[in-house]
Structure formats: structure tokens, C-alpha cells
Amino acid sequence: MKLYCPLKIYSDIDISEYDWNDEITDNFEHISTYDAADFESEINAAICRYSETMEKERGLMKYYSGDPEVKQKVFSAFPSVEVKDGELIGVFNFKVSPDISDSHVEELKEYLTGQAADGWGEGFEQQEIKTSGRGKIFVSFWSSDGDWSMQTEENMETEEIEETEEQNMSM
């Protein structure tokens, strides 16, 4: 099972050469998730290095302290990134019991939102990732903007269908 979330990706910039009419966030330049797709392997390697101290069998589930039934049914959780439809997205990969319920998945989403915002993700977003051709980048698995959400693959596909239908109706 996988849960997906949007990413925010920034590149280090030289302030002395910066055009102040461009978008800037805390002295970093935003990189689109489509442009960042080229860095999938470099970011995953950085995730592995950063997560070396993480428990090897359970990953982020080692730190889960909520519903005991969820802890029993979700064996492991590991973060990564992957390219989906040309866009780089955050992924939490799970090994789960086949009888996991929707309410357990919702509980898991809440836990991982916390990990993305304040736990594992907060530490990871401060790690510079050296890339070929772009220099140093920083990857955040969480954002406070209203577009951020943790979704199953099924939710993402449903949302894509609805967006396509809305676009077709407005034409």
C-alpha cells in the first residue's frame, strides 16, 4: 500500500544575482515538481542516507503510538519519492495486513501527516541534496498551503478524473 503527498522543492540561490521579481521563499528558489522529476534517484538516495538510523524492519511505524490495532495491521512505513504522470511526489510505502479498514487508513494518514510536518519530514527538509545540473536542493514532504493532503492512489485517481471532467465542462 502507498500513500502520496505533494512535495515542495527549493534550490539554493545566489542572492547577489537574484531578480526580486521572481518567486522566493526564505532565500530559496521554488522548483516545480515536474522539473524535479529528474532528481528522483538523487532524492531517494538522500532519503536512504537520512533514514539510516530508522528502524530497518518497521521504519516510521516503530514510533507510532496510536491505535494498537493499527500498529498491529501496519507492519512498516518507509518514505520515498516517485514520478507519477511526469511529476515528482512524496510516497509513504507500507506493508499492511489485508484486512486493514478505511478507519485504520485514516488513522495512518493522520500519523503520517504529523511525520511529514513535524517528525521525520521536518528533519529531512533541512538536509541539502546535491544534484547534477541544479546544485543543492531541499525537499519538503509537507506544506501549510490548502492544496496539501495525504492520499491513497485510489483517491488520487478519483481526483484526476473529477478535474478532467471539470475542465471538459468548462470548454
Question: Residue 14: pLDDT band by 50, 70, 90 thresholds?
Answer: low
Cα 156 from Cα 14, distance rounded (Å): 36
In one letter, which amino acid is 99?
D
Mean pLDDT throughout 27-55?
Answer: 91
pLDDT band at 12 (very low <50, low <70, confident <90, very high): confident
Average pLDDT over residues 148-153: 90
pTM for the predicted model, two decimal places: 0.82
The domain of 75 spans: 2-170
d(CA 158, CA 155): 5
Q: Is the pLDDT of residue 166 over 90?
A: no
Closest to 27 (Cα-Cα) out of 13, 46, 42:
13
| Alpha-carbon gap, residue 53 to 121, rounded angstroms | 14
The total of structural domains in the chain comes to 1
Is 50 exceeded by the pLDDT of residue 16? no
Q: pLDDT averaged over the chain? A: 85
Judged against a pLDDT cut of 60, whether residue 159 lies above it is answered with no
Q: Note the pLDDT of residue 41.
A: 96
pLDDT surpassing 80 at residue 90: yes
Is pLDDT of 22 > 80? no
Question: Tell me, what's the pLDDT at 161?
Answer: 44
Residue 55 pLDDT: 86
pLDDT (mean) for 159-167: 50
Residue pointed to by grid coordinates 539510516: 52
